[in-house]
Amino acid sequence: MNGAVSPKIAAPKISVRGLEKSFGAKRVLDGVDIDCGIGESLVIIGGSGTGKSVFVKCILGLLHPEAGSIRIDGAETVGLPRAGRTGLMNKFGMLFQGAALFDSLPVWENVAFGLIQGRGMERAKARQIALDKLAAVGLGAEVGELSPSELSGGMQKRVALARAIAAEPEIIFFDEPTTGLDPIMADVINDLIIKCVREVGATAVSITHDMVSARKIADRIAMLHKGKIVWQGPAADIDGADNPFVDQFVHGRAEGPIQMEVRAV
Amino acid sequence: MITFLASVGAAFFAFLAATGRLARFALLGLSAALRPPFYPRLILRQIVYIGYYSLPVVGLTAIFTGMVLALQSYTGFSRFNAESAVATVVVLSVTRELGPVIAGLMVAGRVGAAMAAEIGTMRVTDQIDALTTLSTDPFRYLVLPRLLAGLLTLPLLVLVADVIGVFGGYIVGTYKLGFNPASYLTQTESYLETLDVVSGLVKAAVFGFIVALMGCYHGYHSRGGAEGVGQATTYAVVSASILILLSNYLLTTAFFGT
């Protein structure tokens, strides 16, 4: 089923209804409705400043929406107190756009951080898991001793991916995973995302404006424009979508219904 | 007139809102101490960073302050033949006022700015959000260790500054002004009361808390990349310095006000 309406998913892992978020007078999310099934890879596309990152941050609880509902495994998470969020966060992994590695810690400790600090795992055991995860993203044990500042952008993204999957989360979010990378490294990261998500058996929600990446990693694609989902459907249908917004975006045309805003969100 | 009153009212409400935000931030930071997990290693690291690495700057300012104080009080008191009070003035001034205030201001410049820059950079590079997604409370991991370290470490620094400051006065008094070393030490000790030292240490604890709170608060709320981090650093130092001087007056009134 293609279009702006969310398809019926029997028991969605993530269910978002009527999500609204504003910054001052600027309404960034204006009633977003979308579901994501268990083990599904959902990619949300949209231009810069359309609220993709805000959408993910609302699900993660980093931003508080003004209205709407976010259900994870059927349980409402909007308005959950700080204490109740810890258990929920254990279900999540996140790869940030700029990697967001901790400068003060070596690479292996970055990867093991959630295990040591968040789950109280013994350091030696967490270190071994971190080295295994680094190997899974193609980085050797010697990289584990380096500082994040000693790594290239592509290596930082790999480390961030290793950190996102280290605790084997149920849901992994990817914020612009290929932005700033050369096409070859972007493809390497896409392959790693597919491989790691499959190995962990996680549900994946990615946001990107890189159509090559979206086509490769998505089971389903949704397009966000002016705070609303204007189209969603199987990844294979994106090129034949009968939607002027999608058509303009996937072909990268300046002319069309999408007008670029000068001010970012 | 109405426009003027409206702007005064708006400024007053903005001040109240800012005070409320700061108080809420401090409470969130301190309340993190009530529930595990705790991070003793991080607290220890901050204690070393604030205390040990601030020793040179605090020690240098303390010794020169004590030396200048001895010189100034000698030249002033000699006008009415009260030179013998120099040692007492030095020790009381250093322990009650100059030790804690100068150490507080020095630490605000050195540590408060660094805290704001570090936490601010973490904020603008999504590292604080990353902490949250890794099931780690930023208040417990970043803010509480710094607040506790500031609270515990500055009294120790001030104790050292007191000794060094009094020693600076002793050097000038005995080698330059010709006081007898034994009588200078006797004068120093005989009029010093426990409250003089304790009041200075209490002030130091409050100043340490203020420095850490301002560094964390402005860093945590920084926005907009490098410029935002720079602003946070400036705000942290300026607001900590003003609050140190304001709370110094209030604490002095509480301890010695009549």
pLDDT, tens only, A65-88: 999 999 999 999 998 887 778 788
Which band of pLDDT confidence, cut at 50, 70 and 90, is reported for residue B220?
A: very high
**Domain annotation covers residue B214:** yes
Closest approach of B157 to chain A, Cα-based (Å): 26
* Angle, CA A212 vertex, CA A193 and CA A194 arms, to 5°: 15
Chain B residues with CB inside 8 Å of A119's CB? 135
Longest Cα–Cα distance of chain B, Å, equals: 69
How confident is the model at residue B242, as a pLDDT?
97
- pLDDT above 60: residue A115: yes
How confident is the model at residue A66, as a pLDDT?
95
Q: How far is CA A138 from the centre of its chain?
A: 21
Residue in chain A nearest B38 by alpha carbon: A117
Chain B residues with CB inside 8 Å of A118's CB? 134-136
**Domain annotation covers residue B10:** no
- Lowest mean pLDDT segment, chosen from A40-54, B94-108, B141-155: A40-54
The answer to whether B134 contacts A114, with C-beta atoms less than 8 Å apart, is yes
Backbone angles phi, psi at B96, to 5 degrees: -80, -40
* pLDDT tens-digit series, residues A201-258: 899 999 998 899 999 999 999 999 989 999 999 999 998 888 898 989 888 888 878 8
Which band of pLDDT confidence, cut at 50, 70 and 90, is reported for residue A5?
A: low
Q: Which of residues 34-63 of A touch B (CB under 8 A)?
A: 57, 60-62
Residue among A100, A114, A163 minimizing CB distance to B135: A114
Backbone angles phi, psi at B36, to 5 degrees: -70, 165
- What's the mean per-residue pLDDT of chain B? 94
Helix and strand totals (H; E) in chain A = 8, 10
Residue among B126, B127, B132 minimizing CB distance to A89: B132
- pLDDT above 50: residue B236: yes
In whole angstroms, what is the distance from residue A135 CA to residue A144 CA? 10
Backbone angles phi, psi at A84, to 5 degrees: -75, -15
* Total tally of structural domains belonging to chain B: 1
- pLDDT above 80: residue A10: no
Q: Pairing relation of β-strands A171-175 and A92-95?
A: parallel
- What's the mean per-residue pLDDT of chain A? 89
Stated as kind and residue range, the H or E segment containing A72 is strand A67-72
Alpha helices in chain A (DSSP H): 52-60, 82-89, 107-113, 123-136, 153-166, 183-200, 211-217, 244-251
Which of these CATH numbers, 3.40.50.720, 3.30.230.10, 3.40.50.300, 1.10.10.60, describes A1-81+212-265? Answer: 3.40.50.300
Q: Which amino acid type is present at position A118? A: G
How confident is the model at residue A48, as a pLDDT?
83
The answer to whether A89 contacts B134, with C-beta atoms less than 8 Å apart, is yes
How confident is the model at residue A7, as a pLDDT?
67
* pLDDT tens-digit series, residues B46-86: 999 999 999 999 999 999 999 999 999 999 998 988 888 99
How confident is the model at residue A259, as a pLDDT?
77
How confident is the model at residue B2, as a pLDDT?
85
What is the rounded average pLDDT of the residues B175-202? 95
The DSSP output letter for B78 is: G
* Segments forming the whole domain that contains residue B92: 38-252
How confident is the model at residue A3, as a pLDDT?
62
* Angle, CA B15 vertex, CA B12 and CA B17 arms, to 5°: 110
Alpha helices in chain B (DSSP H): 2-31, 40-51, 55-77, 86-93, 99-107, 113-124, 127-133, 138, 144-171, 181-190, 194-220, 225-256
For chain A, the structural domain boundaries read 1-81+212-265
- For an interface test with B, the pick among A58, A80, A89 (most B C-beta atoms closer than 10 Å) comes out as A89
- For an interface test with A, the pick among B46, B122, B134, B136 (most A C-beta atoms closer than 10 Å) comes out as B134
* pLDDT tens-digit series, residues A89-101: 889 999 999 999 9
Residues 6+ away with beta carbon under 8 Å from B10: none
How confident is the model at residue B152, as a pLDDT?
96
The answer to whether the CB of A1 falls within 8 A of the CB of A27 is no
Q: Report chain B residues touching chain A, CB-CB < 8 A.
A: 37, 39, 121-122, 125-127, 129-130, 132-137, 141
Residue among A82, A86, A96 minimizing CB distance to B130: A96
Q: Determine contact: A13 vs chain B, CB below 8 A.
A: no
How confident is the model at residue A1, as a pLDDT?
42
DSSP-derived secondary structure for B44-75: HHHHHHHHGGGHHHHHHHHHHHHHHHHHHHHH
